[in-house]
Structure 1
């Protein structure tokens, strides 16, 4: 099935120049009706000859429905087309008084494959590829417990306390049970239609509550290993960490890293949060310039990162392989809030899919992100029956 049409609007290489050569920090707010406002620092040019920094300030992704709506509006000249608005601010509060309005120009095609889970990942659903009203099965997935799911370890400790009486000293021993909870061993395997495994997500680090709390914290996150299957063996492809934000926050934090071929280097591709109440989107979008200050897609600029002393933007070094593999929009997946029925919808940029295993790896990652919402649920709350498995030791 062909990929679904998408359009990606990118705003980049902005700069300011004042006739009296004043210099002060500025930033811009970029608005497009129907999309979250994006914010980015903006360069100040003192002289005409100053080079403009190569930087992506914002990007907007339009699906087929949005494009058809805009096209329909353009046929009616009496109705105004939506404008892209760029507002320039000085410092953090003062308004510079500059505003640019322009029509939507310079959009680039960004076709994507769309996959839809036919049920919750823990229920081992079928996965369909979707294009408009047409859908066809492409994968099945199997959820299982590698060892145990949520288990309670009961450790008995003897506490000896002296007790005096009129005639003797006796020891009173009391057994105390100290429950230690952990969620571990969850695994989901993606199969092609022939039944062969092509990708998997498996808990690599248990999800356990921090001491004195009933939640998984950022200082001790749980983690998934995302695996690809090829040449009769499993190879690690990525690592997803998840935790619950502290200070009364109702957000799930996550961090996804790509693992190099040798399994030595890791490169962060996504690091953001999702509301545990309302859900949201897990997204990976890589820009060739600096990352916007607030990006709805948690974009990362590989050229600004380093690993093992190498720059990711260079043509040599341990990080260059990821810079060459992934550019622009990579993927997104819907994630529902706690207690809600979740059937993830996954979008993957067509340029990043060259084989079945490519698509399956992103599907497995989406399943792991969805299950992390349950794995990071407060330990004072009960999990769904599909995710509960108790072992007493």
Structure 2
């Protein structure tokens, strides 16, 4: 298996150094010295916001191991961001605006934010094939748009790193309930890697019809098995806790979530002997204008009773969304990006698209575990549908994809 090109661009070690008279002409800003934040824009990617600690000593430096802001870049993103390098006057593709705000608001920002200054860095991305430090140190801020940097004005400390982060990309070729083939994508090339076998307990409800029959008020006994090209089962997801409506409502609620066990074969056991790897819980949250499916994954450490929470994600029931395992979002930071799985909404044909960090895949069996997890995520969106609503034809077993 050959991975696709991805990059991890991190902006960290942030710190703001202000001259004593920096805010003397800005009434009301004095109490907010310690409540600074910044917006980080990289090309046309979504703006990221984070806090910026104040460095009071002229010789001081920020925490070098503080949590960075991370952008993940596919090869297409890199090509877009490097277009500016072909102009006679390169346009900065990394732009940072620093603000000051009051305590008690998100990231130290209130309704009206005061701009401390801004900066732009033109960073080239296309020639790097190994970890590269693009910038590390203090840089002066422009206090007006289009203005120049003052020698005695505010300064921002930042460290910008670019690290190769290759990923394997897999695609379910049809709906999970139709036992699809799973292919690896490498550009325009699709290579079959796995097959997905969906099995339902014959007593489980798949029709979503109204009625007093208890069997039609729960979804249970669903199983997914992942087979390699030789036909051997290399991973599985079993519904461990039925998806049932909570008392007084027609939905799977936080108080009683449905759950899956993600498993891999036990090498020391007999056939069909399984070793638990993780537990995925799912429930439905009421929202406006649309509900969300909440998913929580815990890794079950072998030989230990304690589990480790590695993902807590909400997916829009209408538009679908992404399930992530990304350790850059955790404290302390460890492991970086692990997995991303894109699924469709509950009324749409869903063919999960999965990205896996290459460093976490040492063999085909490693990837298979994440395919079982992706299938469980996709099926959870369907299993959390309100019980009083009939599913469109195709959601459970009959494809309506054209």
Do Structure 1 and Structure 2 share a fold, with TM-score over 0.5? yes
The 1:194–1:39 alpha-carbon spacing in structure 2 relative to 1, beyond 3 Å, is same
8 Å contact kept, 2:92–2:121:
no
The 1:147–1:17 alpha-carbon spacing in structure 2 relative to 1, beyond 3 Å, is farther
Partner of 2:81: helix, strand, or coil? helix
Query: Mapping of 1:175-186 within 5 angstroms?
Result: 181-186=217-222
Find the aligned partners of 2:257 and 2:183 in 1 and give their Cα distance. 31
Shift of 1:285: 1.1
When the two structures are superposed, what TM-score results if normalisation uses the length of structure 1? Answer: 0.78
Task: Indicate the residue corresponding to 2:229 in structure 1.
Answer: 193
Query: Mapping of 1:115-264 within 5 angstroms?
Result: 115-146=170-201, 148-150=203-205, 181-231=217-267, 232=269, 233-248=273-288, 249-264=290-305
Query: Mapping of 1:1-393 within 5 angstroms?
Result: 1-20=1-20, 23-47=33-57, 48-49=59-60, 52=63, 54-77=65-88, 80=91, 82-90=93-101, 91-93=108-110, 94-104=113-123, 105=134, 106-146=161-201, 148-150=203-205, 181-231=217-267, 232=269, 233-248=273-288, 249-287=290-328, 299-302=329-332, 327-383=335-391, 387=396
8 Å contact kept, 1:217–1:246:
no
Partner of 1:338: helix, strand, or coil? coil
Shift of 1:99: 2.0
Task: Indicate the residue corresponding to 1:291 in structure 2.
Answer: none
- Aligned pairs, number: 335
What are the ranges of 5 or more consecutive residues in structure 1 without an aligned counterpart? 153-175, 288-298, 304-322, 389-393
Higher strand share: 1
Shift of 1:217: 1.4
Task: Indicate the residue corresponding to 2:144 in structure 1.
Answer: none
Partner of 2:302: helix, strand, or coil? coil
The 1:81–1:374 alpha-carbon spacing in structure 2 relative to 1, beyond 3 Å, is same
Extract structure 1 runs of 4+ deviating beyond 4 A.
Answer: 176-180
What are the ranges of 5 or more consecutive residues in structure 2 without an aligned counterpart? 22-29, 102-107, 124-133, 135-160, 398-402
Find the aligned partners of 1:210 and 1:127 in 2 and give their Cα distance. 35
When the two structures are superposed, what TM-score results if normalisation uses the length of structure 2? Answer: 0.76
Shift of 1:69: 3.1
Query: Residues 299-358 of structure 1, C-alpha deviation per residue, up to 9 Å, x if partnerless?
Result: 22246xxxxxxxxxxxxxxxxxxx5xxx01101011111211111110000100011121
Find the aligned partners of 2:92 and 2:189 in 1 and give their Cα distance. 30
Shift of 1:229: 1.7
Find the aligned partners of 1:369 and 1:25 in 2 and give their Cα distance. 39
Partner of 1:7: helix, strand, or coil? strand
Find the aligned partners of 2:279 and 2:55 in 1 and give their Cα distance. 41
The 1:358–1:86 alpha-carbon spacing in structure 2 relative to 1, beyond 3 Å, is farther
Aligned-CA RMSD value:
2.7
Find the aligned partners of 1:36 and 1:380 in 2 and give their Cα distance. 38
Shift of 1:263: 4.9
